[in-house]
Structure 1
């Protein structure tokens, strides 16, 4: 049975309880992070906690812990669970009030919750063949840079992919690429790696940063700029990236092949670099 952390106590996940008056339950009033763990080493923990701090500040939600306290809790959760590779889910809500009221309550303590799951990455057949995706209009709110628990729009968009037997929904807003429902999206055109710029319309992904760092390190031509919908549809390669999907090729979009319908050479090379980075940096070996 997995162990979680809830408001200062480590306990079995199945026994954890929160109030139905919690504003996370009533309003989606909270922030979260998902931290990958490789060989029991949390990856870029400082960057994840910094992103959490930015989200909390934007939500006007006091951060309940110092960075060193957060790090201690994360490491303790890792130690108390059995998997060598884990996915740590961390959530802070504004807490439980005595009545349902849209206005922020005064004197309420935040609810802090962390849990661990086994980190599951794409199977070999997906890496070899890529996955299918659909596209949709990005109808989410205008602060997609904040990692909040109010994810109903993302859930609807992700379910759209599931309903079509696909792995992801690629999102466009006003004719430009933003991201996926649960991933960042890269494309390759004429050997150049293209990424949409960080803005309030997309979540600044930690894996997004790693991919751009690897591109710079290995001399891959790349640009961070606005990407037109037509550029995505006629791209040589399209990838999705996240802490769980890593670097995964999208080989068809809306039932039309990307390139020749197989993972392209730039993506295959990036995946190899990423796996080497994971072995030497993330795992420390």
Structure 2
């Protein structure tokens, strides 16, 4: 089956999906993106993703590429045309194509909007049973990490370092404190309490994080929002991450040190179960 993608108002075979070489997303990383999970052909936390998209666009003084209703239709149509039952939809908005100057283009410039699907196992991800390994790496990113931009070179370098060391994710560290993962939010568990960094310009406000915080509160699981050090993480009872494509994922090793005996712990197993129960309802 040939995958259908969306490019500036058109549904096309992926081989025909093209944008201008002058697109500012390509030249300056002048764009934002969102990744929404799909389970049983339905979007997960979609409203939160669209809310965050709006905030990212506003922070970069970038225009919406179309109406919210049109975005809704696009997501639904991509699911239908690609017969997607489980996986993700990636969408990206850039400021558009214009002559290469650092300042914003003068005059009318049409934003670029592209989107595509990726089929993958989310609910029955085998890593959720075994847990994953992470490494720590310096956080080399800019100061506005709360905006979900396509400027992902530092996270890509961190992720590659993790893979080369036999791990699946890298936790980025600044001044001795864990900020977040290269593509996820970071958590540790100590004495049954979940600890995760508070929201600020230093991390991305994850949509899965937001849903999990609500579910944990409803279930009586205490979450403390504060910075934690690498040393605290190494001494934690449990550790885990959240993201749109991994949901709630146990971490069993950090920098080669086993966490919680090297097995997913009871708190993270409970939180994943809660999230999946709601996502698959």
Counterpart position of 2:46: 45
Give, in angstroms, the shift of residue 221 of structure 1.
Answer: 2.1
- Counterpart of 2:26? 25
- Aligned match of 2:252: 251
Between the aligned partners of 1:71 and 1:109, the Cα distance in structure 2 is: 20
Alignment of 1:161 with 2:168, yes or no, is: no
Partner Cα distance (1:194, 1:147) in 2:
23
8 Å contact 2:133–2:167 — kept in the other structure?
Answer: yes
The corresponding residue for 2:14 is: 13
SS at match of 1:193: strand
Could you list the runs of 4 or more consecutive aligned residues of structure 1 that deviate by over 6 angstroms after TM superposition? Answer: none
> Structure 1 residue 259: deviation in Å?
2.1
Q: TM-score, normalised by structure 2?
A: 0.95
- Secondary structure, aligned partner of 1:260: helix
Distance 2:70 2:127 in 1: 38
Q: Distance in 2 between matches of 1:172 and 1:242?
A: 18
* SS of structure 1 residue aligned to 2:49: helix
Shift of residue 128 of structure 1?
Answer: 2.2
Counterpart of 2:55? Answer: 54
Gaps of 5+ in 2: none
Shift of 1:119: 3.3
Change (3 A) 1:175 1:219: same
Structure 1, unmatched stretches of 5+, are 281-285
Length-normalised TM-score, structure 1: 0.94
Instruction: Tell me the number of residue pairs that the alignment of Structure 1 and Structure 2 aligns.
Output: 279
Partner of 2:80: 79
On the 8 A contact 1:188/1:238 being kept in 2, the answer is: yes
CA distance in 1, matches of 2:248, 2:60: 31
Counterpart Cα distance in 2 of 1:276 and 1:124: 15
Aligned partners of 1:153 and 1:165: how far apart in 2? 19
